[in-house]
A and B are shown apart, each in its own frame.
Chain A
């Protein structure tokens, strides 16, 4: 099943083959392979320094690769100029040309490509309509707000009529509310245009909400490539499990034997858990998401029950985060926002093995 998601079905829109990139002795990307399907929204997700922006710059042609190939629309573009690759790019800092009007910004690339005047007019008008920036066309970027600037930046990619859109953390410079608004707009834009989009972010909410598939990167390698659902529910290794989800997953070191996971405190038969291979044994790590812990009346229905002591409570309105102690281990539990618990209380929680994740203690890969 994992192999299925590695290779996109049909002709890939963008295909990256054995890509290497090093700056001097530092190897940033190593033997990276990635196929992106036509019309797919792929998010490259990872913490800073994981190589996601570097990969995007390689696809755009702004960085020369050390080895490997990049294909866009069935054409080998490894040595092509950025403007000849059929890509449009949106940057975090907008990168609008400050001395040109919005219209000048939108038409700069088209003028360079010697597109006829009336065609430029037509495309600028269409992009302005799609992005609702028509009233701003004669303004300079300095007179625009952050959200408007980012819209113009998207428009600059839009007018080029390209197959592939590249986004380099386009929403990171906006405030939280605007970011949420523009996120929805981007999703709508993708539904409308059906272009291939590659989107770099470190924000997992953006990744989960926008992506058809997410590639989680670490140290220049793709840790897992899959649908948001798959990445959330079946993380391939401990790093992915820890990275996705907020508050992050609870991990417990223990031992797996005959389908039963046990620690000093807890004994958990893994009934209903889908093992990736035949049932293994040995030292293992159990991961349980805070939101998959049940409390209150639902506990009786859970396969495994255990008692914990409440240590700290963080009410957040929509839900409440409880920091509890399961033996000596800190255990995060996400409860309904209206539940009233106090530090020092004990309560019973219910755990469901079918929603948990098991990792090998040595390799940290999913079991």
Chain B
């Protein structure tokens, strides 16, 4: 005799036991498969992309450690049979650019002389400007900031010739201090933006409390705001160091040959047309030039990421 009530009950019981089979023992974190399709895709792409970027670097390092006879044999990817540092030494102190044959070292010291004052000045001016624009708003400060920002979008090429005239009239054309000034000014838009946004993300009540405590413009900056802003100073420093060190255009236009920065000199070494192409020396010279930004990235990478994230939170 078919009893619908019993049937229903059995059905429910079966459902319950099936449920037990599949999920009742689940407990704790859900297990993850190590070799899921997603992971294979992800890591596969990552490996391919990193190889794509690392391979040229590898070729450069290997080539710079080979002698010219070995390079002529043509095995680009092969490791050096006989490791020699002679190309590095030559690139540093003997490679010829035009009439000078004292290597990249001259360019290196030129670059250092350009870099240090440019970085210090641009960061000093930009941090104070950003602080003033975010904390001490004055009539027209927003307009001023907008105009400054627009500077970031004007192509450099447009400004090259006017700047030449400007520097000539100031008597700074062709001198290192002229180039320092150019780097400082051209770094302003992005740096001020960076600092302004960072300071704007700090609690405004801190600023108010300091004012009630009788601190003035500079005291609030040096005693309260600057000590809280190490990450953004590091970001600004990295941006400026790499940007100014890698600059070619301003260096070649606004200085004289004996003051050329390292990048310009590197170009002159690599592109010199007389004699044999010394690939190993060229590679070594290139690596030497890239060493400074590379070191900066490695040393301060962590702070850089933290600072970028901090500056990006609030506009």
- Which residues of A come within 8 Å of B, CB atoms? 57, 60-62, 81-84, 87-89, 91-99, 108-109, 112-113, 156, 160
A81 partner residues in chain B, CB cutoff 8 A = 211, 214
B213 partner residues in chain A, CB cutoff 8 A = 83, 108-109, 112, 156, 160
The reply to whether A156 and B209 form a contact with Cβ atoms under 8 Å apart is yes
The reply to whether B212 and A60 form a contact with Cβ atoms under 8 Å apart is yes
Show 24 residue pairs from A and B whose CB-CB distance is below 8 angstroms, ordered by the A residue: A62-B211, A81-B211, A82-B208, A82-B211, A82-B212, A83-B215, A87-B212, A88-B212, A89-B208, A89-B209, A93-B203, A95-B203, A95-B205, A96-B209, A97-B223, A98-B228, A108-B215, A109-B214, A109-B215, A112-B213, A112-B214, A112-B215, A112-B219, A156-B213
Q: How many chain B residues touch A (Cβ–Cβ < 8 Å)?
A: 16
The reply to whether A83 and B212 form a contact with Cβ atoms under 8 Å apart is yes
How far, in Å, is A146 (CB) from chain B's closest CB? 15
The reply to whether B227 and A99 form a contact with Cβ atoms under 8 Å apart is yes
Docked pose: A226 CA to B224 CA in angstroms: 40
The reply to whether B206 and A97 form a contact with Cβ atoms under 8 Å apart is yes
How far, in Å, is B281 (CB) from chain A's closest CB? 50
* The one of A83, A96, A98 that contacts B214, using a Cβ cutoff of 8 Å: A83
- Which residues of B come within 8 Å of A, CB atoms? 203, 205-206, 208-215, 219, 223-224, 227-228
How far, in Å, is B115 (CB) from chain A's closest CB? 29
Docked pose: A108 CA to B210 CA in angstroms: 8
The reply to whether B214 and A91 form a contact with Cβ atoms under 8 Å apart is no
B210 partner residues in chain A, CB cutoff 8 A = 97, 108
Q: Which residue of B lies closest to A85 (CB)?
A: B212
Docked pose: A96 CA to B219 CA in angstroms: 16
A61 partner residues in chain B, CB cutoff 8 A = 211
Given contacts A89-B212, A112-B215, 12 further A-B contacts (CB under 8 A): A60-B208, A60-B212, A61-B211, A62-B211, A82-B208, A83-B212, A95-B206, A95-B208, A98-B228, A109-B215, A112-B214, A113-B214
Q: Which residue of B lies closest to A89 (CB)?
A: B212
B219 partner residues in chain A, CB cutoff 8 A = 112
The reply to whether A62 and B208 form a contact with Cβ atoms under 8 Å apart is yes
How far, in Å, is B60 (CB) from chain A's closest CB? 44
The reply to whether B211 and A83 form a contact with Cβ atoms under 8 Å apart is yes
Q: Which residue of A lies closest to B230 (CB)?
A: A99
How far, in Å, is B190 (CB) from chain A's closest CB? 27
A92 partner residues in chain B, CB cutoff 8 A = 205
Q: Which residue of A lies closest to B224 (CB)?
A: A97
Docked pose: A334 CA to B122 CA in angstroms: 67
Docked pose: A57 CA to B211 CA in angstroms: 12
B227 partner residues in chain A, CB cutoff 8 A = 99
B228 partner residues in chain A, CB cutoff 8 A = 98-99
10 nearest interchain CB pairs? Answer: A83-B214, A109-B213, A95-B205, A112-B214, A95-B209, A91-B205, A99-B227, A82-B212, A89-B212, A82-B211
Residue from the set A87, A95, A113 with the largest chain B CB neighbour count within 10 Å: A95
How far, in Å, is A9 (CB) from chain B's closest CB? 29
A84 partner residues in chain B, CB cutoff 8 A = 214
* The one of A94, A96, A99, A109 that contacts B212, using a Cβ cutoff of 8 Å: A109
A89 partner residues in chain B, CB cutoff 8 A = 208-209, 212
Docked pose: A60 CA to B212 CA in angstroms: 8
Docked pose: A321 CA to B212 CA in angstroms: 45
Docked pose: A99 CA to B229 CA in angstroms: 11
The reply to whether A91 and B215 form a contact with Cβ atoms under 8 Å apart is no
Residue from the set B205, B223, B224 with the largest chain A CB neighbour count within 10 Å: B205
Docked pose: A310 CA to B269 CA in angstroms: 95
Docked pose: A60 CA to B219 CA in angstroms: 19
B211 partner residues in chain A, CB cutoff 8 A = 61-62, 81-83
B208 partner residues in chain A, CB cutoff 8 A = 57, 60, 62, 82, 89, 91, 95
Docked pose: A87 CA to B211 CA in angstroms: 11
Asked, given contacts A98-B228, A99-B228, whether A93 binds B205 with beta carbons under 8 Å apart, the answer is yes
Residue from the set B214, B223, B227, B228 with the largest chain A CB neighbour count within 10 Å: B214
A160 partner residues in chain B, CB cutoff 8 A = 213
How far, in Å, is A232 (CB) from chain B's closest CB? 32
How far, in Å, is B84 (CB) from chain A's closest CB? 52
Docked pose: A83 CA to B209 CA in angstroms: 10
Residue from the set B213, B214, B223 with the largest chain A CB neighbour count within 10 Å: B213
Docked pose: A113 CA to B215 CA in angstroms: 9
Docked pose: A99 CA to B224 CA in angstroms: 8
Docked pose: A97 CA to B213 CA in angstroms: 11
A91 partner residues in chain B, CB cutoff 8 A = 205, 208-209
